[in-house]
Structure 1
Amino acid sequence: MASVTRRRSTGPARRATTDAKIIEATERLLAGGERFTELGVQRLAAEAGVGRSTFYLHFRDKTEVLLRIIDTLTDGAFDLFSAASPAVGAEGVVEIMVRDLRYYRERRHLLAAVLEVVAYDTVAREVWNGKLQRFIDLAEVWLRGEQDAGRTAPDLDPPTAARVFVWGGFQALANQVLIGPESQDEVVAREIALLMWHGAFRRPAGS
């Protein structure tokens, strides 16, 4: 009797493999010093070992590739950031910020490409800002908790403080990664962390 078990389609798996090849090829070119804005679809496809038509079966354009890179980049950073709750103490926040800066340093080429594109592409900018909002929302939860427990100033405004220290901290971190000397990474990370700690998590009342 013939088997009624159907062979599972390899379509989704094959698609995921091709997606990954194109993304990895893009990251490889960026790591080699190429600027994202100067990379054409033909170059990305050739580096990935696929045809131009295959590229367009998987991505609408090269910006969609960058959006996938944004997803991966920010997801990894969020995993690190989410461990930096006030419960770990000032030195714990410093340690996590050092790891966060190191994470971006190792992916400097990706960060540079993202910031280059979000400066002019509205879709990429909206996605990027939406990703950073996750960090702001979590920071606000932490600050409200510290405020309710009486550990930070009652006149602190959690939504504003969260937005300021996430955006401000990220700008300082990105500046260090992109143009600062690696030898100063830990110093910069420590200053960012302690400004967060003393300026928000443990702000004196009435300051």
Structure 2
Amino acid sequence: MTCAASEDPRKPDMPSITRRRTAKVGRPTSAEADILAATQRLLIDGANFTELGVQHICTEAGVARSTFYSHFRDKVDLLIRLATELMTSSFDVTSAWSPSDGVERLAGAFLQVVKVYRKHAAVRRALAEVATYDVTVRDFWSAELNQFTDWTIAVLRAEQDAGRTPADLDPVSATRVIVMGGERALVDHVTAGDPADDAAFARELALTWWYGFYRRPAGYGT
């Protein structure tokens, strides 16, 4: 099967995927913001989240211990609130893109996601650390990735229905590779890659999606 020779100039009606909010959202209070910022600074400086005490966080934030517990149930709640910003920003950027936007705009979207991951790299590291032993964090992370999965499957199926992606593509299997493989590649890149290579990385990731999963013919959309 082949893809259509050109995109429909109108954006297709994309299936609506409602973002699940698994943690408190909205603008934090001053003390809450201070605690979040202090924790992120400590993580960036190399602190191990498991060993990081509440009192240490409060001292860094310049707040009383009682203030911490007036805003957060515990450290896990704090970590999830930090991680929500990472996942919200990433999902908002990704889901704003439509296949009719083309591969170069997809590369631009991925570059924005790389920047988000760089900003929150220490939080992502803490998530990986705590998810190994805490079921709440593990369930949070699974639910956050599931929204990317739901959105990607819906997009691929819409493209198949429109005749732009071949019917023999398995959207579920392709999405597993896209979401799990892409997220791991992002983590590896921001952990070990040179920031000067961010644009090249984002473009290669976009091309992999465009030609590998959306099945566009060679040279299509560039």
> Which interval holds the TM-score relative to the shorter structure?
0.7 to 0.9
Paired residue secondary structure (1:37): coil
- Map 1:67-86 to 2 at 5 A: 67-86=80-99
Normalising by structure 1, we get a TM-score of 0.84
Cα pair 1:153 1:203 within 8 Å, conserved: no
1:194 aligns with 2:202: no
1:160 aligns with 2:173: yes
- Map 1:85-100 to 2 at 5 A: 85-100=98-113
Q: d(CA) in 1 for partners of 2:100 and 2:150? A: 17
Cα pair 1:101 1:189 within 8 Å, conserved: yes
Unaligned 5+ runs, structure 2: 1-27, 218-222
Deviations 1:65-103 (Å, cap 9, x if unpaired)? 001011111101111111232111111111211121122
- Map 1:13-28 to 2 at 5 A: 16-28=29-41
Residue 183 of structure 1, CA deviation: 2.5
Match of 1:128 among 133, 137, 141: 141
Cα pair 1:22 1:48 within 8 Å, conserved: yes
Match of 1:169 among 169, 179, 182: 182
Cα pair 1:94 1:189 within 8 Å, conserved: yes
* Match of residue 33 from structure 1: 46
Paired residue secondary structure (1:36): coil
Residue 131 of structure 1, CA deviation: 0.8
Structure with the bigger RCO (C-alpha within 8 Å, sep 6+) is 2
Normalising by structure 2, we get a TM-score of 0.79
Residue 180 of structure 1, CA deviation: 1.9
Q: d(CA) in 2 for partners of 1:56 and 1:94? A: 42
Unaligned 5+ runs, structure 1: 1-14
* Match of residue 9 from structure 2: none
* Match of residue 59 from structure 1: 72
Residue 140 of structure 1, CA deviation: 1.0
Identity of aligned residues (%): 45
Q: Quick check: which has more Rg, 1 or 2? A: 1
Which structure shows the bigger proportion of residues in helix conformation? 1
Size of the alignment, in residue pairs?
190
* Match of residue 49 from structure 1: 62
